[in-house]
Structure 1
Amino acid sequence: MTQLLVLARLIDRLSDFSAVFAKWAVLLCSLISAGNAVMRYTFSYSSNGWLEIQWYLFAACVMLGAAQVLRVNEHVRVDVIYGTLKSKSRVWIDLFGLTFFLMPAMILFAYLSWPLFVGMYVSGEISGNAGGLIRWPVMMLLPLGFALMALQGVSEMIKRVGWLRGTYQMDLTYERPLQ
């Protein structure tokens, strides 16, 4: 179990690392959006490339930040029943959800999105809009983001099994690891 917990910590660091890119993508997206609005309304100039880079950066924010959201337990959850349960029951529900819902979905989505990315990379597909950008970088975010979520799912499963076995401590009020 000790080696699995080391693996979980490594995966958590990878999620932290990808979250840094997501954080900067939010800032860049906001700055580009504001700059684009100023250019459009002040100088009557706009570019499809600038509009597309905004949604590329938004995609980076979502796909690279999702694993971190799972790691820090800030994902959407309906707490009506979950919040009333004892810690052990919550951990079992988490394990069930991670095993039978998150993992199969993320593995399937990564598998299905990989050929889309490869096809766009090989063909060098470019947006049909005038001044549009190449599309493979944003498509690469799909299999990458789904793989990061699957890895973080593995980390969360390891930590919950560790908690059940008494080898890992979590604050189950928020289900975050004790620092």
Structure 2
Amino acid sequence: MNAEDAVKRSDGGAWRLISCYVRVIDRISDYVGYLAASLIFFMGGTLIFDAITRNLIKMPVHWAVELTQFTLAAYYFMGGPITLKNNEHVRMDLWYSTLSERGRAKLDLVTVWCLIFYLGVLLAGSISSLQYAIATNEKRFSIWNPSVIPIKALLVACLVLMLMQAFSLVFKHVATLRGEKL
């Protein structure tokens, strides 16, 4: 075996590992995204329940709208990774669509590193906020007075998944530049 074959073999092993990482993260993002999509039914049911108890029974429940707000936050957090995976995020397409596949991959590689930096800063702040919420048993000031720890913990978990999905995108763009598919 010559040196070139050894490089190909070691490179192939790394790409197999990267390919496995991309598949696993993409699948997790899909599952979390589908779970997020199902939350719309929960939110609708909660709001219908609130409308019935408030208007028909004349016994308002104070927690329904606030629970829906928390669920909507979870919906947004959990929808981020699948949005990245499916390339359905907002983009200015005036000239992006005119670029070649390699040109788009180069531009996406630059912007994904900006995203990774942003998500890293956001994750650091979210962890700090979660630690504070746990230390003080932080609750939302309202009639219902729910704990904010679960929603802050979900934000941290979803940011970690979004970071993992962003690194998956890095690998996909590098593969495109190499003329490969992941």
TM-score between both structures, scaled by the size of structure 2: 0.86
Residue type at the aligned position of 2:35: F
Q: In the TM superposition, what is the alpha-carbon distance from 1:5 to its structure 2 partner?
A: 1.5
User: What per-residue deviation string (whole Å, max 9, x for no partner) do you get for residues 124-152 of structure 1?
Assistant: 22222112311111111222222111111
2:74, 2:155 within 8 Å by CA — same for their partners in 1? no
Secondary structure of the corresponding residue to residue 94 of structure 2: helix
Larger Rg: 2
2:118 pairs with 80, 89, 105, which one? 105
User: 2:175·2:181 contact (CA, 8 Å) conserved in 1?
Assistant: yes
Q: Identity percentage over the alignment?
A: 24
Measure the CA separation in 1 of the matches of 2:161 and 2:142.
Answer: 31
Alignment equivalent of 1:121, drawn from 117, 124, 134: 134
How many angstroms does 1:165 deviate by? 1.2
Moved over 6 A (4+): none
One of 158, 162, 167 as aligned partner of 2:171: 158
Q: Is the 8 A contact 1:113 1:142 kept in 2?
A: yes
Q: Which runs of 5+ in 1 are unaligned?
A: 170-179
Match of 1:45 in 2: 59
Q: Is the Cα–Cα contact under 8 Å of residues 110 and 144 in structure 1 kept in the other structure?
A: no
Task: Give ranges in structure 2 of 5+ residues lacking alignment.
Answer: 1-14
Give the Å deviation of 1:167: 2.4
Aligned to 1:26: 40
Partners of 1:46 and 1:93 in 2: CA distance:
52
Residue 46 of structure 1: CA displacement?
Answer: 2.4
